[in-house]
Amino acid sequence: MPESMRVPFPTREELRESGTRMEAIAEHYDRWLVAHSEAMDLAVRLPDVFGDPPRPRVTLHVARGYDDEWILTEKRCRELAALDPELHWTEVSAEATRQFQEYFTFSDAEGWRFYLPAFLRHFLADFPLCHWDAVHTACRRRTHFDLITQPQMAFIDEFLALCQTWDSTWDT
């Protein structure tokens, strides 16, 4: 499974078709390839570092429920959790991580342990052209890290260093 974390970087043509300016591609493409390769070297380690944490009570939709409704009954939590079918973090889609950027604000330690590798996976897959930075901010703030192990902390530190190396706009 580790190699399944490795995704190819878009070609110049794919970037043009997605709206990336031709001048930016001409100027930065080779650098982006190197940055993406480094991100993929980190991504393939995710399964070994984060393993198989149990599904949390606060799933993506439950966190959104806390954001929207503030107080949730156990029944409401179960209803919302049923909207999130994933039993393993590798089943969390890229689209879900994009749609639930508020997750880390409304979750807990168990939720972070489960969803953090999924958000990292999809962020790294888009690196260095990722535009969804909730996971980067969450890793910098380090709240709800109660269940994060030392090897996971070391991985997060490497992730933040990668981001700092390739994007000086982030203050780590």
| pLDDT-derived band at 168, boundaries 50, 70, 90 | very low
Distance CA 153, CA 21 (A): 36
Question: Distance (Å, rounded) from C-alpha 167 to C-alpha 172?
Answer: 10
- Give the start-to-end residue ranges of the domains of the chain: 2-166
Distance CA 84, CA 79 (A): 10
**pLDDT score for 5:** 77
**CA 92, 165, 17: angle at the middle one, nearest 5?**
60
The confidence score (pLDDT) of residue 159 equals 94
The residues, ordered by sequence, that sit 6+ positions from 132 with a Cβ below 8 Å of its Cβ are: 97, 98, 101, 122, 123, 126
Which whole number is the average pLDDT over 143-157? 93
Contacts of 158 (CB under 8 A, 6+ apart): 42
Assess whether pLDDT exceeds 80 at residue 169.
Answer: no
User: What is the structure's pLDDT at 1?
Assistant: 61
Q: Provide the b/e sequence for 149-170 (b: ≥16 CB within 10 Å).
A: eeebeebbeebeebbeebeeee
Q: Is the pLDDT of residue 61 over 80?
A: yes
Express each pLDDT in 92-112 by its tens digit. 999 999 999 988 888 899 999
